Structure 1
Amino acid sequence: MNSPSSESIAVEAVDLVKRFGDFTAVDGISFAVPAGTVLGMLGPNGAGKTTAVRMMTTLSTPTSGTARINGHDVREDPDGVRRSMGLTGQAATVDELLTGRENMRMVGGLYGIGRRALKQRTEQLLAQFSLSDAGDKTVREYSGGMRRRIDLAVSLLAAPPVLFLDEPTTGLDPHSRNELWEVLRGLVDAGTTLVLTTQYLEEADQLADRIVVIDTGKIIAEGTPLELKTQAGAASLVATVTHAADLPAARGLLARVSDEVFVDEHARALTLPAGGLADLTRVAALLDESGIAVDDLGLSRPSLDDVFLSLTGHRAQHATDTADEPQGADA
């Protein structure tokens, strides 16, 4: 795979390190994010994801190393970094006593956006995030999904080319999560670069062009979702027979394809390593010729959860408390 040119890099971390006393929260991570793509930073609670984002967004000073956002160095040009990016943290930062529109006007004023342009931008974003009808309600009346959307809308007021999203869907119900995913896809289609931290494996799989897996402050793997799944092992072929009584005969047939056939009697499923579509076609023919009825037949790749387990020795955690910096850490 060819490396993107430096002109196309929107976010770059270079040997970022953050220590708090004897504790190393981030231990020399490096990566580059091409403009207009999504990087997923995947890791369990306490892995160092939030600390890394805080350094890249100038909220925390690196112990060593640096990061560049849209060409601006976090050490040498923090103001340029802040002008080039937006940040949506783990918890909504809008004022819940103000309405959605009032929050937009307040933050837009801090950005120095002119009154006419701010009004136009506010209505555009409220419509984009399906919040126009709720714009004059106080944020405390919003649902969890609506709060995340208004927080994201506020972060986009200045139309930043780069957006950092730290655990954006934590605490949302599945419907609200899917809605937010659609909004994020739309932002990327419009050219925004996203850096997304998440503990949700499905979220990284759905949104990220590339993923860096972080554990104990270090990057332990990186690649596309498909590349990472391939690291966890080959694809499997899964056949689910209609009648449990056919399992022994089906196992005998599938043994012609592989000597490793796993039978799950409860699920009426047979699983074997698969080299690809040729094996799928062969198994389908064998079962069809034998007259064995099948409910489902297909190839199954390892999930990102399988990847996580193979890399770290434990499953990904879905904790709600995702802070990975000690209290009182510098900001």
Structure 2
Amino acid sequence: MITALRRAFGAACLIGGAMTAAGAQADTSYSLLDFSQLDGWESDDHAAALAVFGQTCRDFDDPDWLSICAVARQQDPESARAFFELLFRPVLIEDGKNALFTGYFEPELDGSRHRSSRYQYPIYKMPAEARSAGQWLPRRDILTSGVMEGRGLEIAWVDDSVELFFLQIQGSGRVRLDDGSTIRVGFGGSNGHNYRSIGQELVRRGIYSLHQVSAQVIKNWVRRNPSDGRELLLHNRSYVFFRELRNVASSAGPLGAMNRSVTTLRSLAVDPKFTPLGAPVWLEKDGNGKMRRLMVAQDTGSAIKGAQRADVFYGTGDEAGQAAGRLRDPGRMVVLLPIQRAYALLPEDI
């Protein structure tokens, strides 16, 4: 099988080109590793990772990656580990910041197509003037000035403003409608303001210490303190608009930044300045419930900044949300790059 892989890859190894890490800082360092240095590598389900890699690798527009993708889509599950070991090299990318891994999920909200006494909080489409503005109105003005009213921009109405706020943080979700049907919404744009963490704001105010803050703690505090809670949510000037997703199978995950469904515990949100979208990434998450597995960089997030920063996708619904909300752990992530690109990153004097 190794010989067949090598023959299939053929001339692709002759294609040159430097690794694209647009925006990476000058102090970024690259260390070439061996697969034997990846803790737990031999024990992972490489076939599961290969299947996820194959879902998005076709979207590359670079010949190096497309050649590898063509080989990937011809592999039997039994050859998955050999495929990765032959055609990639592990590269540890660091920018001087400590590694941090958190989780995200696809929320499920209760809602309706029509406003009522129960369903009062709108999920908005993006208005045309916001799309062309670069930076538009802050959250407070969007929600209190009346600028959105009477324009038919509501996709649906939901019954919980706190859950709607966290839907915006996640960027996609499902809404269970009162007629028994379900719709999915995905990221449709933003107002261009930087995200302000309301968890950090609670810490700044001395209400909680950093280790106490989680999504559930924040939700509970806002509900116990409705007036102050509303003001806390408005502290975040960023506002996310949505679009209704009509062509995503109910059994599939939400769409990530590559416009393909992400996969539970196999998809990562990363900073594309350091990690190419679509690349395989070896994750070594420490802390409670250590995780050692090959994942794929298929998504991004406004809070995901840095070479060793990533969000693990945990799935759909409340249970996934609770698991994702508990995750805030150290470790390291190692990007798997095509061989010629990995070597191109090394200093010339090595």
Q: Provide TM-score, normalisation by structure 2.
A: 0.23
Higher RCO by CA contacts (8 Å cutoff, separation 6 or greater): 2
Query: Structure 1-normalised TM-score?
Result: 0.24
Structure with the largest fraction of helix: 1
